[in-house]
Amino acid sequence: MNKPYFKQTKNAPEPLRAIVKTITRFEEIDSMGIAWHGRFASYFEDARVALGEKYQISYFDLFNNGIFAPLKKIHIDFKTPVFFREELSIECILHYTEASKILTEYIIRKQDTKIAATGYAIQMLLNPKYELFLSQPEYYKNFCKMWKKGEIK
């Protein structure tokens, strides 16, 4: 990847990462014989779910603590085509922020390690009335404190 989508702030902990693997299925291929561009958001989501489960910040963890995390923005840069039955690894990288949002970056690599796509997503943290938390909700704030202390790696 040329450069990260999010700059690491001073004194921020190292980003957290999770990687999932998949093989492109026939239903994901378009009439040009390549993976349809709309599938890439799903690939990102597969890695985001794995990261959430790995670090106890899954959608269920957040929801059970009164936090909704809808997407505000998603961006994808396509680098090289993906074909039927290609093995992909999708890396999700969580960037630290003290704001009331979740910043994730993604790298999709082909089996030969060539980068097929990169991108990012921004999720806002909302209460059950769909109002933005003005500061991080307690559950996520505690997660970030532990992360910054080096207790989460």
The answer, as to whether pTM is greater than 0.75, is yes
Q: What is the mean pLDDT of each run of 10 residues along the chain (153 residues)?
A: 81 96 97 96 98 97 98 97 97 97 98 95 98 97 96 90
Q: Assign a CATH topology to domain 16-148.
A: Thiol Ester Dehydrase; Chain A (3.10.129)
pLDDT at 28: 96
Could you tell me if 144 and 98 are in contact, meaning their C-beta atoms sit under 8 angstroms apart?
yes
Per-residue pLDDT at 98: 94
Task: Tell me the pairing of strands 16-23 and 71-78.
Answer: unpaired
